[in-house]
């Protein structure tokens, strides 16, 4: 078993390696081989880098395991250790999961839509639990871009080619978590 409290996550971790590290963390947490306190150390290191944070979230939020449905306080604290990176990814994950759920339903793929819905629920739960003012600032900025087609998230929304109906659904989702 890996002792995560003694593991140093390299600053130049690849996205793929971050996914593999997170998969290992989830397996060990779920099996009881690893405590949330020990996992938090590795997660805090992962989220310090863009690739590490992206790999963590893509794995954690999509995992079949129910672990992400009720994150331990130690996991929340680890996420709070990298406020800017974590805030940005939480906000974008919320928008992407919302937009993709609609795309999957349009394509009559309810199973994939339900997976996107699960990611959206988990992301909303994390947003509600983390104490990061940056999250609220980014949620408001993304909401403005979804409404106007302008602003800080214009390029993000265009890159994913969200249409007016998807942007409206994203706005409605954002409204549910904006304080």
> Does residue 79 surpass a pLDDT of 50?
yes
Residue among 142, 128, 122 at smallest CA distance from 179: 128
Euclidean distance between the first and final Cα of the chain, in Å? 42
- Express each pLDDT in 16-38 by its tens digit: 999 999 999 999 999 999 888 88
pTM of the predicted model as reported, rounded to 2 decimal places: 0.93
Number of C-beta neighbours around residue 107 at 10 A: 10
Cα four-point dihedral sign 123, 128, 130, 133: positive
> Which structure tokens are listed for 106?
């349009």
> How confident is residue 6, by pLDDT bands cut at 50, 70 and 90?
low
- Give Cβ neighbours of residue 37 (< 8 Å, ≥ 6 apart): 5, 74
Percentage above 90 pLDDT, the chain = 87
Kindly tell me if the per-residue pLDDT of 108 is higher than 80. yes
pLDDT in tens, 34-74: 888 889 999 999 999 999 999 999 999 999 989 899 999 99
Neighbours of 124 (CB within 10 A): 19
């Amino acid at each position: 078993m890996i002792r995560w409290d003694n593991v140093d996550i390299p600053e130049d971790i690849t996205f793929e390696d971050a996914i593999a590290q997170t998969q290992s963390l989830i397996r060990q947490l779920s099996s009881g081989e690893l405590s949330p306190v020990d996992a938090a150390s590795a997660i805090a290191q992962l989220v310090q880098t863009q690739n590490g944070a992206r790999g963590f979230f893509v794995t954690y939020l999509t995992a079949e395991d129910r672990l992400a449905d009720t994150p331990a306080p130690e996991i929340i604290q680890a996420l709070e250790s990298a406020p800017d990176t974590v805030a940005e990814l939480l906000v974008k994950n919320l928008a992407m999961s919302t937009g993709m759920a609609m795309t999957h339903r349009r394509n009559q793929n309810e199973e994939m839509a339900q997976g996107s819905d699960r990611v959206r629920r988990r992301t909303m739960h994390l947003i509600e639990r983390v104490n990061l003012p940056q999250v609220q600032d980014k949620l408001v900025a993304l909401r403005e871009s979804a409404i106007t087609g302008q602003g800080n998230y214009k390029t993000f929304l265009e890159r994913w080619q969200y249409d007016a109906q998807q942007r409206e659904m994203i706005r409605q989702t954002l409204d549910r978590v904006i304080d």
